[in-house]
Amino acid sequence: MLLRGPYGRQKDNQWFRRVGGPSLILFFYTLIFTGIAVWRYENFLYVESGDLTIFEQVIYNTLHGRPFYSTADGQNHFGVHNSPILAFLVPFAALIPAPYLLYFFTVLSIAVSAIPIYLIARDETGDELLALFLLSCYIMLPGLVGQIYQSFHEINLVLPFITFSFYYFVKERFYPFVAMFIFGLTVKEDVSLTLFMYSIYATIKKREMKWRIFPAIMCIAWLLLSVKVIIPFFNNSSSYPMISYLSDMGSSFSDIIANTLSSPQSTLQRLLQPDRLFYLYTLLLPLGIILPFFSAEAAFAVPSLFLNMLVETERFRYVEAKTSWGIAYIPRHMSLIVSVFLFISVIYSIKNISSAFGKYSKPAMFILVFLLFVMAGYGDRFMMSNKLYKRQSATASSNSIKRMLSLIPYGATVRADNDVATHLYNRKDINPSADTDTDYLVLQGLFYRNNRGLLNGDTGNPLDASITRKYDLVAFEKNYIALFKLKSRR
């Protein structure tokens, strides 16, 4: 029998803390949350599913000869966002169904981005155990893990690139930094607003000129190329459609910037409205409220945070999920970059605060990390709610919907609500809001049938004549869902 001495056990402990611990945590994290995401998809439990249908079709159509096109959106995706990174997912879609693929890469993106977070935490705290706790807090941030409860968005893929770029910046490894920086730009055009901050940060840190000039030139060039050339070309206009979210402040970037700068008081009042402050509270709660603001790294979160708080619509900031204890406000995908850099700032803040305690800096650091761990767990309590894992009583069961959808021939065009449309993405034409007639029509709601035909359960009146005139009823489940087929034209 081979006996292991104290030295051997010490080496095992070091290996676990340095490599084994983080690897196991991230492996099981990826496994568990991918499973949860796929299970929720199969049971129609996702929140706000519209964008999921769009991205499913972008991937599916690109694989089948119509690059980046989505009938769910009615246009090429480059007409909305400049996101060439999506092409990377296409080969995988030949092996894995698109929705599974999108959610797997969402979870994988969080897990991979946690590697540099762990390395930074280990270097700054000088303790592998503390770094493991910080790693655990990071991957459970509501702004990150909450994305598996929502639709997929391309910005989910940016996480590894922004965390690795920051790590390589800190380590002063320019060429790996450049690689991660460029990959980050390819995720979405507005990522350039955040990455531009490297130019300012490099100036503060008194880095060589290449660290200051490269981020500024690349970000300005990529943003202008995206909003002035690529996106207008694909949407056949001269405008950037996302500007509509700030339409009350102006019809162009120059108008919005001018209005913001010319009236700082009204801009400040806008940012301090109760719903904006509540959004800020939602983001900061799992980060210890004030912890992010004891280090300069929080500046990286400013561009995205400023835009999120500036827009009028609340759907830019969070989704409302019903839980056992009430409404949970889960940050939307627009908050991903904000959450990441606020957490990086927390790591440096913990170091800065604990260093003020002199010889007691280590205990102070442990206390701060423990408090952060508790706050992160409190912010994630929405995940323990049973209401997030069951369908509402006024909705058809997942099995009923699947049986209904199985009656639709492959290749037929379909109009259906978004949560059903996500399961019909692999066809030529699926549009939740089609103006033209489709081969099949799926309606969800309160229905019942008598000698007058199918009636609306809310009003007791027959269905709209425009539907019954054009479509024959194929099947329905009382109170929940009905399937119609377009009548034959003679």
In tens, the pLDDT along 218-271 reads 999 999 999 999 999 998 877 787 777 777 777 777 777 787 778 888 888 888
117-123 contacts: CB < 8 A, separation 24 or more? Answer: 117/163, 117/343, 117/344, 117/347, 118/22, 119/167, 120/166, 120/167, 120/170, 120/344, 120/347, 121/347, 122/18, 123/170
In tens, the pLDDT along 22-75 reads 889 999 999 999 999 999 999 888 777 778 888 999 999 999 888 998 877 778
- Chain centroid to CA 448: how far? 38
Query: What integer pLDDT is reported at residue 194 of this predicted model?
Result: 96
Max Cα distance, the chain (Å) = 89
Cβ-contact 421, 448 below 8 angstroms = no
Angle at 60 between CA 57 and CA 66, to 5 degrees: 90
Taking phi over 0 as left and psi of -120 to 50 as alpha, with beta for the rest, 401 belongs to alpha
What secondary structure, in 3-state letters, does the chain show?
CCCCCHHHHHHHHHHHHHHHHHHHHHHHHHHHHHHHHHHHHHCCCCECCHHHHHHHHHHHHHHCCCCCEECCCCEEHHHCCCCHHHHHHHHHHCCCCHHHHHHHHHHHHHHHHHHHHHHHHHHHHCCHHHHHHHHHHHHCCHHHHHHHHECCCHHHHHHHHHHHHHHHHHCCCHHHHHHHHHHHHCCCCCHHHHHCHHHHHHHHCCCCHHHHHHHHHHHHHHHHHHHHHHHHHHCCCCCCHHHHHHHHHCCCHHHHHHHHHHCHHHHHHHHCCHHHHHHHHHHHHHHCCCHHHHCHHHHHHHHHHHHHHHCCCHHHCEEEEEECCEEEEEECHHHHHHHHHHHHHHHHHHHHHHHCCHHHHHHHHHHHHHHHHHHHHHHCHHHHCHHHHCCCCCCCCHHHHHHHHCCCCCCCCEECCHHHHCCCCCCCCECCCCCCCCCEEEEECCEEEECCEEEECCCCCECCHHHHHHEEEEEEECCCEEEEEECCCC
- Going by their DSSP bridges, the two strands 440-444 and 447-450 should be labelled as unpaired
- Please state, in angstroms and rounded to a whole number, the distance separating the CA atoms of residues 273 and 279: 10
The position carrying tokens 């206390």 is: 367
Integer Rg of the chain from CA:
25
Angle at 177 between CA 347 and CA 218, to 5 degrees: 115
- Please state, in angstroms and rounded to a whole number, the distance separating the CA atoms of residues 375 and 78: 39
- Please state, in angstroms and rounded to a whole number, the distance separating the CA atoms of residues 64 and 422: 18
Nearest to 420 by CA among 436, 435, 408, 428: 408
Query: What integer pLDDT is reported at residue 86 of this predicted model?
Result: 96
Contacts of 105 (CB under 8 A, 6+ apart): 89, 156, 157
Contacts of 349 (CB under 8 A, 6+ apart): 291, 292, 293, 294, 295
Q: How far apart are the first and last CA of the chain?
A: 86
**pTM confidence score:** 0.90
Nearest to 288 by CA among 233, 369, 227, 196: 369
Nearest to 303 by CA among 185, 153, 195, 220: 195
State the burial class of residue 1 (Cβ atoms within 10 Å of its Cβ: 0-12, 13-18, 19+): exposed
Cβ-contact 475, 440 below 8 angstroms = no
Residue ranges, the chain, pLDDT below 70 = 1-19, 393-394, 428, 431-436, 446-465, 478-479, 489-490
State the burial class of residue 421 (Cβ atoms within 10 Å of its Cβ: 0-12, 13-18, 19+): buried
